[in-house]
Amino acid sequence: MKLIALSRSAKLNNYRDNSQYRADIDGLRGIAVLSVILFHINPELLTGGFLGVDIFFVLSGFLITNLLVKSVEKHGRLDLVGFYVRRIRRIIPALMFLVFCVYIFGYFFLAPPDFSSLSLSSIWALLSAANIYYFLYLDEGYFAADSAEQPLLHLWSLGVEEQFYLIWPFYVFILCRTLIRPSTRMWVTMGVVVSSLVLAQMLITPYHSFAYYMLPTRSWELAAGGVLVFSGLQNAKPPKWLGELLALVGLVSILFSLVYVTESHDVPGFAAVPVVLGTTLLIYAGLHQQTFINRIVSTKALVLVGLVSYSAYLWHWPIIAFLKYSSLEITTTIGISVILATFFFAILSYQMVERPLRYFKASNRNILVGYFLAPLLTVSALCFAALLLIQTQSGWLYDWSKYQVITNTQPAFEYEYNCQQTNFDVNQFYLSRCVYPQGQEPTVLLAGDSIAAQYLGAFRVLAKHYGFSLRNLTQSSCPLLTEANDLHWVDRKYRDDCIAYLKFLSQQLSSFDTIIVGGSWATYEKKGEPYYRKLMAQTIDKLAKEVENIVIMGKNPNFSGYQAACEQRQVKLGFMECDASRYNKPVSRMGANEFLRELSEKYDNVHYYDIAEHLCADGICSPFKDGQPLYYDSLHLSMEGSKYLGKHMLTTGSGLLNIMDSIFQ
């Protein structure tokens, strides 16, 4: 209760320009931050929980625009110094505290390459440019390291917000001084919203990373809150029944989005419109009356969460990221612990850092130096020193001899002779490096997605043994289908390139004697229901008529939690178990594999092989063979692991050799 009382007083001071404190605003903040936390603990708990960030953007846009408009109309000028000092008081102390704590903890927790990444991201985060950093440097390629292990990734949203407020005060000032009528201001701002939204929708597929992280495609969500201020509706009280209806529609829109929207939808494009519109409607409905819905949103529990929502948002993600880095599965118990730890640190940060420093009496100069410049220079100096010491492998930070762990587990994409693409380029088909042995006309084609590409090492070994020439051309997240007109269930990020790949390849398949096909069959079957099996059956039937031989490679077993860099991380995290037996799993039959096996039996020239023959024994599957790590990550064989399996087949025999014998001997 003491926390609520203190916070209520602070909020009253904070919103004195808004005439009165609105508990429903804090309630909405509570909904937003809880949604984000639940989503990050487990996306299945709330598939659209990441939209909590979009709710924050709308709320921020409304509140800040309201303050700016009132200030300009009252004083006739733009008080930039006062505005940015308030932003520094509000944002920077808790942010600096969080980054410093994460950075110090990261040194004791992270292996050198990962601590180096943390050092660089810390500098960008403190400069309110985390979104730019992750847009430029975060690898979102198919084999990219898990972004969930980046402790400061969530600070991208603060970067967007702070960059917006470098521009927005000038926009508000010009609008207020040149356009007298509120309706004109509203329509101009609506133009900003629509332009940014359309841009986001246009870029969400071809340039997803830019659309997700950068200001031009996110500004419409912040500006949407400003539309309400410029509309003049704050002075137009709606009938009570209309206010109740708008509040209900707003809450339903928000809840619908949180439950229905997934990461595969167009966010921040059109799929984000309902949650943004719903938040705006709820804000408006509560301007002049306490509707039934606004009273629900204003419950003490939600308000309390909302009061510490900024600190809670700051702290929840590093906790989850460090857990995932240590390969700990977030079970129900651990998930509850994450929530408790988040709010423990949030309340601690709120009471000891955020609130006291926000209302501490100091001059603008002292605020700028003490709150921002001094901490920025201190932490940046530490970060740059760490980067230099790691780059030179200085003994000041680490005993480098402990990190000389040799594990040859590079993925297929790091090898030049693997022609796996994310962005389809027809010229790849004609490159000599994609053929083995080079200098021969290839008669065998390895095609499909990254699961097909992972088999390249094994088939290069077999090509040398049997004397055939192999061309490989694979496309990330793309099932080999002869019908490519409707692939709405394929990951949006890869869909257009997948369609281009399939249309091109369909014209080339008949020029090969043998087609080897691989794919993440279980994934496609799940996402492509009820279309996938029919499309796959049509594909195999067509290929069986056009090509002499087809070899379907079954999906290899997955090993959840497998970490190729485990031994390196274990140097710092002694509790990590890196023994090969840790990753053992019982044999399980994948329905997608069984479907392809049965499908192959309908044709004399279609063969099916499951690599589990070499990965599983006595009912147990392992990503290791004879002590050799075979996998790059939990889903894919490494190239060396694939080669090792090819050699192992030649030594011990294999069902795949029987297939090769029937084709090439």
Please report the DSSP string for 533-546 in residue order.
Answer: HHHHHHHHHHHHHH
Q: Which helix (H) or strand (E) holds 446?
A: strand 444-448
Residue pointed to by tokens 């992972």: 454
Task: Report d(CA 648, CA 462) in Å as an integer.
Answer: 11
Burial of 432 (C-beta count, 10 Å sphere; 0-12/13-18/19+): exposed
Choose among 93, 76, 77, 63: nearest CA to 165.
63
- DSSP label at residue 149: G
Positions in the chain whose pLDDT score sits under 70: 1-20, 139-146, 232-236, 404-408
pTM of the model as a whole: 0.82
Q: CB count, 10 Å around CB of 600?
A: 20
CA angle, 284 then 166 then 313, to 5°: 60
Residue pointed to by tokens 């609008």: 175
Domains of the chain: 2-391 (no CATH), 412-664 (3.40.50.1110)
Task: Report d(CA 436, CA 434) in Å as an integer.
Answer: 7
Residue pointed to by tokens 């990254």: 450
Q: CB count, 10 Å around CB of 379?
A: 20
- Tokens, residue 125: 């985060």
Residue type for position 374: A
Q: How many helices and strands (H and E) does the chain possess?
A: 29, 12
Contact call for residues 346 and 315 (beta carbons, < 8 A): yes
Q: What is the pLDDT of residue 264?
A: 81
Task: Report d(CA 200, CA 220) in Å as an integer.
Answer: 9
Task: Report d(CA 113, CA 568) in Å as an integer.
Answer: 10
Q: What is the pLDDT of residue 147?
A: 78
For 156, phi then psi, to 5°, come to -60, -35
Q: What is the pLDDT of residue 235?
A: 65
Residue type for position 119: S
Q: What is the pLDDT of residue 590?
A: 83
For 654, phi then psi, to 5°, come to -165, 150
Task: Report d(CA 583, CA 419) in Å as an integer.
Answer: 30
Contact call for residues 98 and 126 (beta carbons, < 8 A): no
Radius of gyration of the chain (CA): 28
By residue count, the chain amounts to 665
For 5, phi then psi, to 5°, come to -65, -45
- DSSP label at residue 350: I
- Tokens, residue 154: 């969530």
CA angle, 593 then 594 then 595, to 5°: 90
Q: What is the DSSP string of 174-190?
A: HHHHH--SHHHHHHHHH
- Tokens, residue 540: 């195999």
Task: Report d(CA 192, CA 471) in Å as an integer.
Answer: 50
Choose among 579, 648, 589: nearest CA to 619.
589
H-only helix segments in 456-565: 456-466, 492-505, 521-527, 532-546
| CA distance readout (Å), 626 to 563, 601, 614 | 18, 33, 11
Task: Report d(CA 645, CA 651) in Å as an integer.
Answer: 10
| CA distance readout (Å), 642 to 211, 432, 456, 639 | 36, 22, 7, 5
| CA distance readout (Å), 440 to 432, 433, 453, 466, 637 | 9, 11, 21, 14, 27
70: left (phi over 0), alpha (psi -120 to 50) or beta: alpha
SS3 breakdown of the chain: % helix, strand, coil, rounded to 5?
65, 5, 30
Residue type for position 229: V
Q: What is the pLDDT of residue 406?
A: 52
Contact call for residues 253 and 275 (beta carbons, < 8 A): yes
Q: What is the pLDDT of residue 208?
A: 86
128: left (phi over 0), alpha (psi -120 to 50) or beta: left
Q: What is the pLDDT of residue 9?
A: 43
